[in-house]
């Protein structure tokens, strides 16, 4: 049975509809990547799943007692707020010191417990956010552009960490990537979103392709792959006109 089932979901902010009639499901242990241009409603979809935004239509059904770990897109720590990594991981509560060490190890940053949150590097910070999401032993991990602000190498190593986490814990992963052409080779499915679900399918693993190697080198260990989807498919919607060719072409 699916962990979560999104049925016919629409989200509007005032008169502006950002998501219209989106349906999708996440099965246990599955890694799904959502790609789409800016303003395509990716973040709104995740926010609807965690209950931060009310759908104007449709619903999100969770299997009983599904635990969700969420990594937000941006987390700005105000300079005036002193907080250590371990204190942050204790929020909102019910966490032991052992849980903290375990989650930090899982996220690949075992030594950071005593560091101040505001003094971490971008990569360390994302991993601490990942540790926070992992600490409740989630069945489903939601990541909103978790590699934003990381360089190519940083992103690759972060994606590898996610893959390891999935192998170790068996949790499902639903993540957003702003890098339209670069998605994780480990994704079981890729959903292309642009206000509605344009298309979905398995990503082609092109880590061995010469163009790919020329672009990214071999240092990423195959964690980055080029996702090509076929745009000859027929859209029923007719009236929208989005240009995938610009965004998809590797620079």
Partner 1 sequence: MLDDFMVRAALAGIGVAFAAAPLGCFVVWRRMAYFGDATAHAAILGVALSLAFSMSIFVGTMTVVLLMALVVSVLSGRGYAMDTLLGVLAHSALAFGLVAVSLISGVRIDLMAYLFGDILAVSRGDLAVIWGGAALVVALIGWRWSALLTSTLNEDLAYASGINPKREQLVLTIALAITVAVAIKVVGVLLIAAMLIIPAAAARPLSRTPEGMAVAAGLIGMLSAIIGLRAAFVLDTPAGPSIVCVAAITFLATSVLRGFRHQR
CA 215-218-220 angle, 5° bins: 95
52, 97, 105, 209: which one binds partner 1 (CB under 8 A):
52
How far apart, in whole angstroms, are the C-alpha atoms of residue 56 and residue 227? 32
How far apart, in whole angstroms, are the C-alpha atoms of residue 185 and residue 166? 14
Residue from 4, 50, 47 nearest 23 by CA: 4
Kindly state whether residue 81 participates in binding partner 1, applying the rule CB under 8 A.
yes
Q: Which is nearer to partner 1, 87 or 244 (CB)?
A: 87
Rounded to the nearest whole angstrom, what is the least distance from the CB of residue 25 to partner 1 in the complex?
19
Kindly state whether residue 132 participates in binding partner 1, applying the rule CB under 8 A.
yes
What letter would DSSP give residue 203?
P
How far apart, in whole angstroms, are the C-alpha atoms of residue 90 and residue 92? 6
Q: Which is nearer to partner 1, 124 or 185 (CB)?
A: 124
Size of the site for partner 1 (CB under 8 A): 24
4 φ/ψ sector (left φ>0, alpha ψ -120 to 50, else beta):
beta
Instruction: Classify the C-alpha dihedral 37-43-49-54 as positive or negative.
Output: negative
**Selected range binding partner 1 among 2-10, 22-30, 46-54, 225-233, rule: CB under 8 A:** 46-54
8, 23, 27, 75: which one binds partner 1 (CB under 8 A):
75
60, 77, 205, 215: which one binds partner 1 (CB under 8 A):
77
Kindly state whether residue 55 participates in binding partner 1, applying the rule CB under 8 A.
no
38, 80, 241, 246: which one binds partner 1 (CB under 8 A):
80
- Rounded to an integer, what is the distance from CA 87 to the centroid of its chain? 24
Contact residues for partner 1, defined by CB under 8 A = 47, 50-52, 68-70, 72, 75, 77-78, 80-84, 87-88, 91-93, 116, 132, 142
């Amino acid at each position: 049975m699916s962990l979560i089932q999104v049925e016919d979901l629409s989200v509007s902010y005032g008169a502006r509809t950002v998501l219209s009639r989106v349906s999708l499901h996440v099965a246990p242990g599955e890694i799904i990547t959502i790609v789409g241009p800016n303003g395509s409603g990716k973040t709104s979809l995740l926010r609807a799943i965690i209950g931060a935004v009310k759908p104007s239509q449709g619903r999100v059904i969770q299997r009983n007692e599904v635990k969700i770990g969420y990594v937000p897109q941006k987390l700005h720590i105000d300079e005036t707020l002193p907080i250590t990594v371990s204190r942050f991981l204790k929020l909102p509560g019910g966490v032991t010191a052992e849980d903290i060490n375990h989650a930090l190890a899982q996220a690949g940053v075992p030594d950071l417990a005593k560091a101040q949150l505001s003094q971490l590097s971008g990569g360390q910070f994302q991993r601490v956010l990942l540790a926070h999401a992992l600490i409740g032993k989630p069945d489903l991990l939601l990541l909103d552009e978790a590699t934003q602000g990381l360089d190519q190498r940083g992103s690759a190593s972060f994606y590898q960490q996610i893959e390891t986490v999935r192998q170790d814990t068996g949790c499902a992963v639903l993540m957003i990537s702003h890098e339209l052409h670069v998605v994780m080779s480990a994704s079981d499915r890729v959903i292309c979103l642009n206000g509605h679900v344009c298309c979905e399918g398995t990503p082609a693993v092109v880590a061995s392709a010469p163009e790919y190697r020329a672009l990214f080198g071999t240092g990423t260990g195959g964690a980055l792959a080029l996702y090509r989807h076929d745009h000859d498919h027929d859209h029923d919607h007719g009236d929208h006109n989005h240009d995938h060719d610009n965004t998809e072409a590797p620079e």
